[in-house]
Structure 1
Amino acid sequence: MKALVEVITSLSFAKRYDFGPSIVISFDVESPADSYIQDINMAKDLGSRGRIGLARLIEVAGDYEVPFTLFSTGHALLKECRGHKSVITIIKRNKKYGFRAGEYVWHLVDPGSNYVENPEFYYGDLIEEAVKSGIGEIASHSFSHVPYPLVDDEVAENDLKRSIGALRLHGIEAFSFAFPFNLAGKFHIFQKHGIKIVRIGHRALWAISYRNGTVIVKTHITDLSINHLKHWKKIADLLSKKKTLLSWYLHPVSLYDENMFSLFKEIIKYFKNKEITFLTFKELYDAIRLT
């Protein structure tokens, strides 16, 4: 209920936009290797469910003709690799995610394999399918899911460069970016690498703001934290009335559960019936520039 109250309050006081009512729906596509997870069985289970969810969202995009933005880590974009085990130095603490200053081994469970032998860790085949289907936009979620504000500039920028390289393997130029862990920072590195618009977490006054020449979009809803259709109808009705913007992001694994997958499809149908415009982050950027 807290999530619903926060969304309703935010939309009630939101700015009206010429391109409203609109919604940007994004998915954070991450390989279970993109962290310091040490439990291989946990990683495989998470990856298996994530693949199913990713396939389902591609299906929904085609069936309902709505665009999504897939913010993918670089490793998740791959079809194969030789392993990316590395040591990341965290220079700032973060209590929420349990980070302390010191060294962390990243990609510890990276099998150095391919999507045929270890499909739980590689989504490159599904990304190819998404690109061919015209799902919307494939964008950057970093390469290794490193928390940018907690590492030095060199680590963050090198990670971003690797992410851009992985996108180019699919013929995609980086344009939009979603911060790992929703920890925003290092805004000064984005413009020179072609990033025009970024997604941050919930803590922002307005849906759209600006920093260092970059458009910043806040998150209103995460995953299916609001899990009743009647509440989503209330949100859609208010969004239409206010002619504003709603930003909703999920993880593909959210669609693994059959009930949640069914709910997601019902939400999409209702928003379409309300004639709410579905935008990718790149389309949102273009719409902002025209206003």
Structure 2
Amino acid sequence: MGSVVISLDAELGWGFHDLAEPPTERVEAGRRGWSVMVELFEEFDVPATWAVVGHLMLESCDETHADHPAPAGWFERERTDWAARDDLRFGPDLVADILESDVDHEFASHSFSHVLFGRPETDRELADAELERSRELAAEWNQSIDSFVYPRNDIGHRDVLADHGIAAYRGGSPTRDGVRGVFDSTIRDRSMLVDPAVDEHGLVNVPASMFLFGFEGPARTVAESIWEDPMVALARRGIDEAAHTDGLFHMWLHPNNLTHERDDRRMRAILSHLDSQRSATDLTVETMADVARRVAGPLCVDERATAGWSDD
């Protein structure tokens, strides 16, 4: 019996706050895309893993975070350009939309402030603080954290994840994104499935199969004018492959990828096909935590979560 996982990097402005020139269209689309995805998941009754930046769970802050061991200037944009942009820095209303949904989503972590865990300047103290603060905030929302999605997929400090009781993380995709990725997957008929596995830290790596918005710009416009949305075609192929095997197909996106109605149509087409295959076959939809329980065993995952809170 095959399965499909969908994970989202839910970050609003935090996904771009460290960039010299944040992409305005993507920054402004974060709330729109978040709401659209919540509605689409409810329409098709599809549970997803929402990896949320911890700062979004706050109602307000002092904009300094003096007790946080981040590099100098890390919260600068929050104090300057975005000081009046609460809509980019906070999202308790959006967090509530996930938790109050009729769909049983997984509430996961995308760190506290989108720190890049694989960078040399991110030491163990900073990684620990990012996870600890996220975990504390999640507890205030009566949530525990089983899964972690690395900001910008920059993997590092997996031992720290294990120390905090995390059970699963999203590993890198074995396929390319963009035009080359579409070429490789379509022309070479490369499998879209991935193999989750337990790593040396006892974490379950749930690799990504494909990024759903890796083929954009003029190339996408040309492809859609003469054929169909290539990402929809690839997603359908991955879903079909999972439906007829025992494999796992793992799609991911950011809510801020949905900048226009055509992006909504892409996601609707993918979820509609997923729903059809789920009805016609033994295909299931899992969260990352579900995969971790299946691969490592539910007792192992539960014990890890308990251990992560044992020092509180």
TM interval, shorter chain, is 0.7 to 0.9
Structure 1's 242 and 126: CA in aligned 2 closer, same or farther, altered over 3 A?
same
What's the secondary structure of 1:50's corresponding residue? helix
The counterpart of 1:285, out of the listed 284, 292, 311, is 292
RMSD of aligned C-alpha atoms? Answer: 2.9
Q: Which residue of 2 aligns with 1:244?
A: 247
What's the secondary structure of 1:28's corresponding residue? strand
Matches within 5 A, 1:1-291: 20-33=1-14, 35-38=17-20, 42=22, 46-84=26-64, 105-111=73-79, 118-135=86-103, 136-150=105-119, 151-203=122-174, 207-211=195-199, 212-225=201-214, 227-228=229-230, 229-275=232-278, 276-289=283-296
Q: Which residue of 1 aligns with 2:184?
A: none
1:130 alignment partner AA: I
* CA shift for structure 1 position 105: 2.1
Q: How far, CA to CA, are the matches of 1:272 and 1:206 in structure 2?
A: 20
What is the percent sequence identity of the aligned residues? 23
1:106 alignment partner AA: W
What's the secondary structure of 2:249's corresponding residue? strand
Q: How far, CA to CA, are the matches of 1:115 and 1:287 in structure 2?
A: 44
Q: How far, CA to CA, are the matches of 1:256 and 1:284 in structure 2?
A: 30
Task: Report if aligned partners of 2:14, 2:88 keep a CA contact under 8 Å in 1.
Answer: no
1:220 alignment partner AA: S
* CA shift for structure 1 position 127: 0.6
Structure 1's 129 and 115: CA in aligned 2 closer, same or farther, altered over 3 A?
farther
- Cα offsets for 1:206-228 (capped at 9, x unmatched): 52122211111111111323643
Give TM-score scaled by structure 1 length: 0.78
* CA shift for structure 1 position 181: 1.7
More strand by share: 1
2:54 alignment partner AA: G
Task: Report if aligned partners of 1:23, 1:246 keep a CA contact under 8 Å in 2.
Answer: yes
- Cα offsets for 1:137-186 (capped at 9, x unmatched): 11111111111132211111111111111212211111110111211121
Give TM-score scaled by structure 2 length: 0.73
Q: Which residue of 2 aligns with 1:14?
A: none
Task: Report if aligned partners of 2:116, 2:152 keep a CA contact under 8 Å in 1.
Answer: yes
Task: Report if aligned partners of 1:176, 1:195 keep a CA contact under 8 Å in 2.
Answer: yes
Q: Which runs of 5+ in 1 are unaligned?
A: 1-19, 90-102
* CA shift for structure 1 position 280: 1.1
More helix by share: 2
Structure 1's 233 and 159: CA in aligned 2 closer, same or farther, altered over 3 A?
closer
Q: How far, CA to CA, are the matches of 1:206 and 1:246 in structure 2?
A: 6
Q: Which runs of 5+ in 2 are unaligned?
A: 176-192, 216-228, 299-312
Task: Report if aligned partners of 1:72, 1:140 keep a CA contact under 8 Å in 2.
Answer: yes
* CA shift for structure 1 position 111: 4.8
